[in-house]
Amino acid sequence: MKGPKKVLLASAVLSLLVAGAAHAAFAPKFTLAFSDTKVKANPTLDIHIEFSAEDEEIGNFQLLLPKGFNVAADEDIENAAGGPGPLTGDEVIGEGTVTIQAGFACRPGPEGGIPVSAPVTIDATLYEKARTDDEADAGVHAVWLLDLEPLNRVRLLVKGSPTAGWSIEGAPTPSDNTCNPLTVDLKINGKSESGVPLITNPSKPGKKVVIANIISQDSPAVATFKTPVKITK
């Protein structure tokens, strides 16, 4: 085989290997469970996300609720405009834990060669946050803030309507001090602290599919998960 053909063949093989490696490097796990599937119920949502040490890091998260569901609007929760709370003006709407690797080994460059890191578990609290004027003008229905201090905060924007469906989406701030493996266990409550229903099931029974998209921070890879939910009388 002549030289140029050898180069072309080697390049093709390398491309296939790189593509395969990239695909294998983003395989997060995700599960979603509704506590109540009856019509008009206000279920808690239990979310579990898991990344292995080999996975690319999370860049964005999107939860899609189909039409028929309803989500509380920013103005429905009066306390979000300035009531008491750990964050001024915010009501707790969910809680959980996050376990992530932290330390020098997570950092890029020469510092990453220092093999010092350990798993850290922190409390995660989800708050209903008042929208900014710009968010309201952009059609944001509500804002949920996932507080992971001192490691991170994720601002989740809720958009949509009962007739079009809903998108709940947000991206963590990239950090050089943390890395995979990562495990997230989060419960979205059925009601806010003041008793406002957060998510309301459709008023008619039937099959629904909730979709979660987890997007890589390091490549265009997207992991999509579909959770069937049967709404009953």
Per-residue pLDDT of the chain (233 residues; tens, 9 = 90+): 555 444 344 443 344 334 444 344 899 999 999 999 999 999 999 999 999 999 999 999 999 999 999 999 999 997 544 444 445 558 999 999 999 999 989 987 665 567 788 999 999 999 999 999 999 999 999 999 999 988 899 999 999 999 999 999 999 998 888 999 999 999 999 999 889 999 999 999 999 999 999 999 999 999 999 999 999 99
As a 3-state breakdown, the chain gives helix, strand, coil percent values, each rounded to 5, of: 20, 50, 35
- Is 192 a member of any domain? yes
- Is 20 a member of any domain? no
In whole angstroms, give the CA distance from residue 57 to residue 71: 29
In whole angstroms, give the CA distance from residue 156 to residue 37: 24
pTM > 0.85: no
- Is 3 a member of any domain? no
Total count of domains within the chain? 1
Task: State which residues form the domain around 95.
Answer: 27-231
**Tally of residues, the chain:** 233
